[in-house]
Amino acid sequence: MKQRSKKLKKDAAEMDITAFMNLMVILIPFLLITAVFSRLTVLELNLPPIGSKASLQEKIKLQLEIVVSKTSFDIQDANLGVIKRFARTEDNTNWKAFTKVLVEIKTRFPDEKSITLLLDKKIEYKTLISIMDRVRSADVIQFTSVETVELFPNISIGDAPEKPTVISKGIKQ
C-alpha cells in the first residue's frame, strides 16, 4: 500500500506562461499605437441640448444654420431666415461662392464660432463631410499669399425641417 501512495504523489507541474508573455509583449504596444491613431480621426461635434430655449433676456445674436437638401444649400439665420440659397446637384456644387458667403458672414461676426447643419434624410455621408470641411476653415488670398482662416469650428448636426407638400387643390398637409 505504501508504494501505491508514492506513485500518486507526484510533483505539481509548473505552468509555462512564456507563450502568453510573448503575446502580451506584442499585443500591448500594438493596441496603444492604434488607439492614438483612431483618436486623430474622430470629429468632435457639439449637439444642442434637448429642449433648450434662449431666455428673453439674452441679446439676439446670429444663429447660423445651413439647410442641406438634394437640390440646394440654404445658409440662414435661425431668427431672420434665409441669407443665401445655392442650387446644387450631387455632381455639381459651387463651392467657391459657398465659401465666399461664409467668409463674408465671418467678417461681419468675427466672434461667432458655432454653426448648425440641418440635413435632409437622403444626403450622402461624403456630402456631409465636404460641407463640414468647408464650414470649419477656408483658404483666403491675402495680397500674394494664401492664408487658411478659421470660420465656424463648432459644428452641430440635426435633421432638416420637412417642407409641407401641396395637393392639387392647394391644401397643405
The answer as to whether 171 is a domain residue is no
38 within some domain: no
Q: What is the pLDDT of residue 38?
A: 52
Give the phi and the psi of residue 72 in degrees, each rounded to 5.
Answer: -160, 160
CA dist 116 and 77 (Å) reads 10
Report yes or no on 87 lying in a domain.
Answer: yes
Band of pLDDT at residue 25, cut at 50, 70 and 90: very high
**Whether the predicted model's global pTM rises above the 0.75 cut:** no
Grid cell at residue 20: 502568453
- Measured distance CA(61)–CA(58) in Å, rounded: 9
Q: For position 56, what pLDDT does the model report? A: 41
Q: Tell me the pLDDT tens digit for each residue of 107-138.
A: 888 888 899 999 988 888 888 888 898 899 88
Kindly write down the DSSP assignment for every residue of 23-34, as one continuous string: HHHHHHHHHHHH
Residue span of the structural domain in which 137 resides: 64-159
Domains identified in the chain, total number: 1
Residue 106 lies in a domain: yes
* 5 assigned to some structural domain: no
Least confident piece of the model among 60-74, 78-92, 159-173 = 159-173
Is pLDDT of 55 > 50? Answer: no
Domain CATH for 98 = 3.30.420
Is residue 46 situated within a structural domain? no
- Which of 55-64, 109-118, 142-151 holds the top average pLDDT? 109-118
Report how far residue 105's alpha carbon sits from residue 113's, in angstroms, rounded to the nearest whole number. Answer: 11
Would residue 113 count as lying in a domain?
Answer: yes
Strand order across the 154-159 sheet: 81-87, 72-77, 64-68, 114-119, 154-159
- What are the start-end ranges of the H helices in the chain? 2-8, 18-40, 95-108, 125-136
